[in-house]
Structures are given as structure tokens and as C-alpha cells.
């Protein structure tokens, strides 16, 4: 009886799969030929890393603290005008090599929302290490009004929210260009609308954000750092945003290898124990 019920259930599942397949096939046939490729499919580029790569990639990767400090500077002087880092506290930057005094000074240089203790009204005050990076806009409506109705995304986890996030950020920042004549010839309807900017690394090729990094030397690095070219600044801020999304990346890599080693040792030990136990049982059978 149980076997019969199992067979009926199995046939039922098979029938459902066949119906779903048939429905999909009928939809394709009724729609006629497949839709032609769009401009997004043809001209969308895949993200790539800087020529020298990123120091944190791979199983033994580590963050370059000097690069992270430069990335924080680029974010503060360029990106912070539109994008927030709402999941990052000022005190977190101590992990980048800053002293306690430097963290306090950096926090105090930022204005964060507060409450006037005398009147109870909302006000702005100097930041504390425990405060988080403030949003440049009071609300989403104000953000949209200032950016052609496009709300700038928070960047705290942006490299985790995009495929190949570090490479994506770098490519997007360095990918602004004029629309190729070939695109306009093949897809005249894909002409970039007024107020948008063509970038082949963005999903639909056109985005509201104007090029944030426009000229070499836009941010002045301290002496001893690489030349602040557009590509260098893009790589630095991409590395910084990778750190904001994965601050424990190095520790995870360091912990992973000992764990793998222990699991391998335990597997070998279990195999040898199994051999010994079953060899004794086999001798008894003989």
C-alpha cells in the first residue's frame, strides 16, 4: 500500500513538471521568435580590476591600510556629498591605522543630527566616535530632488550588493564616456536622455550620477602616496568600500585555513579509525 502511494505521488510530481514544461514551451511558441538583443545586452561591459589588481583578493588577500586611508579621503571629499555610509561608525576607522585622537578629530570634523539639550529641538552637532557617518540629505525626498529623481544608494554594503563589487565600483567610476557611434547607429532609441550619463558598466548603460572623479589630482594625497590619478582614486575608494562591506575579511581568511587544516586532519583520523575498527571485525568473520 505504501509503495502504491509513493508511486502515485511520484507520478503526480512528474505530471506537474511536464505541465510546467509544456506551458513554457507553448508561451515561447505563441510569442513567435525570441526578442532581439537590446543595447544593454550588446554594449554592457563586464567589470574589471585595476591593472595591478587589489591586494585583498584571493585566499591570502590582505587590505592595504594606506590604500584604505586614501579611499576614506576620496569618499569624504567626493562621494560623501551624495552617498551615505549609514552602517559605519567613526570609531570603526581605527582599524585603518588611525589613533584614538585622530578618530576623535575626524568625527568632530563632521556634523551629525542631534538634540538641543535646552530646547529639545533637532539640531546639528560635532560627531563623536560612536556616531555613524551622516547622510548628506535629511530624507529620501530631498535626496531624489537633488539628483534628478534618483536616490543615491548607501555605500556601506555596495560591494556586496553588486556582482564583483570591488571591480564594479572601480569600473563604474572610470567608465564614463561618450556613447559609441555604433550603438546609436544600431539602437538609435538608446540615445542617452538629457540629465543622464552613458556608462557601459551600468546595467542599463545610462545613470543619473555625473562622473564624480573627473580630473587627476582632484583629491590631494599626502606625500609618499601614489599620484592621485582618476584610476588611482577609483581603485582606492573601491578598496575602502570593500572594507566597509567586509571589515572582517582578513580575519576570515586567517581563520579559514586553520579550520580547513583541522577538518582535513580530522577526516584522515576518522578514516584510519574506521580502517582499524573494521579490520578487527573482518578478522573475527574470517
Phi, psi (rounded to 5 degrees) for 215: -140, 150
Question: 163 among the known binding-site residues?
Answer: no
Consecutive 10-residue averages of pLDDT for the chain (286 residues):
68 71 61 64 93 91 96 98 96 97 97 89 93 94 91 96 96 96 92 94 94 97 96 98 96 85 89 80 63
Residue 43, CA distances (Å) to 71, 183, 263 in order: 29, 7, 46
Res 183: pLDDT: 93
Question: 82 among the known binding-site residues?
Answer: yes
Question: 48 among the known binding-site residues?
Answer: no
Task: List, as own/partner pairs, every contact residues 154-157 make where C-beta atoms lie below 8 angstroms and the sequence separation is at least 24, other chains included.
Answer: 154/83, 154/84, 154/85, 154/86, 154/87, 155/75, 155/79, 155/83, 155/84, 155/85, 155/241, 155/244, 156/84, 156/85, 156/86, 156/87, 156/88, 156/244, 156/245, 157/87, 157/244, 157/245
Residue boundaries of the structural domains of the chain: 39-88+132-251
Q: What grid cell was written down for 79? A: 562621494
Res 101: pLDDT: 97
Residue of 180, 181, 209, 199 whose CA lies nearest to 47 = 199
Half-sphere exposure of residue 147: CA atoms within 13 angstroms, side-chain side: 21
Res 23: pLDDT: 72
Res 32: pLDDT: 46
Res 16: pLDDT: 67
Res 27: pLDDT: 60
Res 64: pLDDT: 96
**112 DSSP β-pair partners:** 125
Res 34: pLDDT: 47
Res 116: pLDDT: 86
How do residues 94-108 score in pLDDT, each as one tens digit? 999 999 999 999 999
Q: What is the CATH superfamily name and number for domain 39-88+132-251?
A: Cytochrome c-like domain (1.10.760.10)
Question: 124 among the known binding-site residues?
Answer: no
Res 33: pLDDT: 46
Res 148: pLDDT: 83
Res 104: pLDDT: 97
Amino acid at each position: 500500500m505504501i509503495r502504491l502511494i509513493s508511486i502515485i505521488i511520484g507520478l503526480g510530481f512528474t505530471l506537474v513538471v511536464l505541465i510546467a514544461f509544456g506551458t513554457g514551451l507553448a508561451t515561447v511558441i505563441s510569442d513567435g521568435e525570441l526578442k532581439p538583443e537590446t543595447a544593454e545586452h550588446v554594449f554592457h561591459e563586464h567589470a574589471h580590476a585595476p591593472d595591478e589588481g587589489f591586494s585583498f583578493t584571493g585566499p591570502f588577500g590582505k587590505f592595504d591600510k594606506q590604500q584604505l586611508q586614501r579611499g576614506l579621503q576620496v569618499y569624504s571629499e567626493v562621494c560623501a556629498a551624495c552617498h551615505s555610509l549609514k552602517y559605519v561608525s567613526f570609531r570603526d576607522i581605527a582599524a585603518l591605522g588611525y589613533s584614538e585622537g585622530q578618530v576623535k578629530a575626524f568625527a568632530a570634523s563632521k556634523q551629525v543630527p542631534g538634540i538641543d539639550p535646552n530646547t529639545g529641538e533637532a539640531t546639528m552637532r560635532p560627531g563623536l566616535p560612536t556616531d555613524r557617518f551622516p547622510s548628506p540629505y535629511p530624507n529620501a525626498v530631498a535626496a531624489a530632488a537633488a539628483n534628478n529623481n534618483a536616490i543615491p544608494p548607501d555605500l556601506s554594503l555596495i560591494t556586496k550588493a553588486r556582482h564583483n563589487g570591488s571591480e564594479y565600483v572601480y569600473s563604474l567610476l572610470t567608465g564614463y564616456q561618450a556613447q559609441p557611434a555604433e550603438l546609436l547607429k544600431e539602437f538609435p532609441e538608446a540615445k542617452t536622455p538629457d540629465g543622464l550619463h552613458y556608462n557601459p558598466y551600468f546595467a542599463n548603460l545610462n545613470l543619473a550620477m555625473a562622473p564624480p572623479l573627473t580630473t587627476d589630482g582632484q583629491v590631494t594625497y599626502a606625500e609618499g602616496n601614489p599620484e592621485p590619478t582618476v584610476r588611482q582614486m577609483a581603485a582606492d575608494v573601491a578598496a575602502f568600500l570593500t572594507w566597509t562591506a567586509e571589515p572582517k575579511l582578513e580575519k576570515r581568511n586567517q581563520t579559514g585555513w586553520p579550520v580547513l587544516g583541522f577538518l582535513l586532519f580530522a577526516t584522515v583520523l576518522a578514516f584510519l579509525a574506521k580502517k582499524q575498527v573494521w579490520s578487527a571485525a573482518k578478522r573475527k568473520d574470517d
